[in-house]
Structure formats: structure tokens, C-alpha cells
């Protein structure tokens, strides 16, 4: 564990340095703009790395829960842990996020510290990172599209669709499968199992917010459609159709 501390510290320093650079290069933008650029970059990098570890390098998380950590798994989790420490500090300082997101970050940090300290279970935690982070680039893209006034376009619709689809299929569906494997396996720590269940409950909280978003969006589209239909409907006057 002692040898991992410098790696995590370097990761934290790298993300902080990158944020400072983005603030300098985008001085006309808000601090949130620069932070979300860091988040977007982290999401892309960690999704690719954790996906490679989970799907290609192995071991397979659904059959080897609780197995010893591999060097590559340690590197990926150290990189991610440094980012989460940076982002939690940023959120606390600027007070931009609610309790659910802060709880999510705190659980993530504690879980990764535990896995790196125990020297096992990085296999399934890395898989959780993959299914969790794969939607993050799309989430940040939605925010940037809003900022530049391009959200209400076809591109915005496509981003929304894939964000919701991947969230439900991978984070909720795939996450449930990973958590189930962890719970029934005798090797992972009971504390890690409890933390993973808590993380999944947080994901269900995010899903509830997404469902409310979908409902608002569908209602808005429905009202727009009904207004357009009423405007285009022919008007009757004394039993005859009036010209528009």
C-alpha cells in the first residue's frame, strides 16, 4: 500500500495541474468549464483503460471476484482515485453538487482505498468503474452542448439517447450483475460488499433523476406536438372550413 501512495499522489497532482492549465487556456470561461474538461478527459481515458482490463486483460470479473490485484488494475484504480480526490475537493470548495453526488464520490474513494490496501478485489471494482464511467463523457458532452447553445439539436437528441441507453443497460443492468457476483462470492470483504451495494443504491438514485428528466422531456415534446397540431388544424365557421 505504501508504494501506491506516491502513484495516487502523482495522479492527483496531474489532474490538478491539468485543471490549472485548462483554467489558464480558458480564462474567459467559468471554473466549471475547466473542471468538466478534466472530467471529460478522465471519463474517456478511464473508460478505455478499465474496459480493456475488464474485457480483455482479465481476469473476468464475473468469475474471479476477490482475486489478487494485477499491476494494471492497480495503475487504473490509482489514476481514478487521484481524480476522485481532486473532483471531491473541487465540488466541496465550489459547492456545485448535491448530497447524492458527494456521497457517490466519498463511497468511490473509500472503496478504491480499501481495494488497493487489501490487495484484492480490484477485478470487480475495475468492472464497476467501467460501467459507471462509460456514460460520463456523454454526460459532460450534454453540459457543453447546453453551454454553447447546441443542446436542442439532433446532436443533443443523439447524446441524450445513448446516455440514457448506456446508463440503463450497463450501469444499472451490468452493475447489478457485478454486485450479485460480489455478494455471492466468499472472497471479497464483507465491508466491500456493503459499500458496493451502497454504490448501487446511489446509482438507483441517479436513475430516478434520469427517469424524471425523461418524463419532463416527453411531456414537453407532447405539449409541443399538440400545440403544433392545433395550429395546423382546419377551423370550422358555420359548418364550413375557414381558410387560414
Q: What is the pLDDT along the chain (244 residues), one digit of tens a residue?
A: 557 899 999 999 999 999 999 999 999 999 999 999 999 999 999 999 999 999 998 899 988 999 999 999 999 999 999 999 999 999 999 998 889 999 999 999 999 999 999 999 999 999 999 999 999 999 999 999 999 999 989 999 999 999 999 999 999 999 999 999 999 998 889 999 999 999 999 999 999 999 988 888 788 776 777 776 777 655 555 555 454 4
- The DSSP H or E segment spanning 236 is strand 235-237
C-alpha cell at 38: 478534466
- Contact predicate 181/65, CB 8 Å: yes
Q: What three-state secondary structure class fits 240?
A: strand
Q: What angle (nearest 5°) sits at the alpha carbon of residue 134, between those of residues 108 and 51?
A: 90
- Report the 10 Å Cβ neighbour count for 89: 13
The per-residue pLDDT for 125 is: 94
**Separation between Cα atoms, residue 159 and residue 209, nearest integer Å:** 17
The per-residue pLDDT for 241 is: 46
C-alpha cell at 141: 458532452
DSSP 81-137: HHHHHHHHHHHHHHT-S-HHHHHHHHHHHHHHHHHHHHTB-HHHHHHHHHHHHTTHH
Amino acid at each position: 500500500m505504501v508504494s501506491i501512495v506516491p502513484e495516487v499522489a502523482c495522479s492527483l497532482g496531474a489532474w490538478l495541474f491539468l485543471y490549472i492549465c485548462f483554467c489558464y487556456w480558458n480564462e474567459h470561461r467559468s471554473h466549471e468549464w475547466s473542471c468538466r474538461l478534466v472530467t471529460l478527459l478522465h471519463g474517456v481515458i478511464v473508460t478505455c483503460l478499465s474496459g480493456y482490463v475488464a474485457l480483455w486483460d482479465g481476469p473476468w470479473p464475473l468469475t474471479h471476484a476477490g482475486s489478487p490485484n494485477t499491476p494494471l488494475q492497480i495503475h487504473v484504480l490509482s489514476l481514478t482515485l487521484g481524480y476522485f480526490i481532486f473532483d471531491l475537493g473541487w465540488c466541496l470548495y465550489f459547492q456545485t453538487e448535491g448530497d447524492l453526488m458527494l456521497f457517490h464520490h466519498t463511497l468511490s474513494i473509500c472503496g478504491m482505498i480499501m481495494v488497493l490496501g487489501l490487495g484484492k478485489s480490484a477485478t470487480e471494482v475495475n468492472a464497476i468503474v467501467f460501467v459507471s464511467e462509460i456514460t460520463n463523457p456523454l454526460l459532460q458532452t450534454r453540459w457543453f452542448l447546453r453551454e454553447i447553445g447546441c443542446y436542442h439539436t439532433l446532436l443533443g437528441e443523439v447524446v441524450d439517447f445513448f446516455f440514457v441507453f448506456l446508463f440503463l443497460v450497463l450501469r444499472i443492468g451490468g452493475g447489478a450483475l457485478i454486485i450479485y457476483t460480489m455478494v455471492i462470492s466468499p472472497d471479497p470483504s464483507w465491508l466491500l460488499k456493503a459499500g458496493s451495494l451502497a454504490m448501487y443504491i446511489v446509482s438507483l438514485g441517479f436513475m430516478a433523476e434520469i427517469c424524471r428528466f425523461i418524463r419532463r422531456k416527453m411531456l414537453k415534446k407532447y405539449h409541443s406536438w399538440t400545440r403544433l397540431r392545433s395550429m395546423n388544424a382546419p377551423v370550422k365557421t358555420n359548418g364550413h372550413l375557414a381558410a387560414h
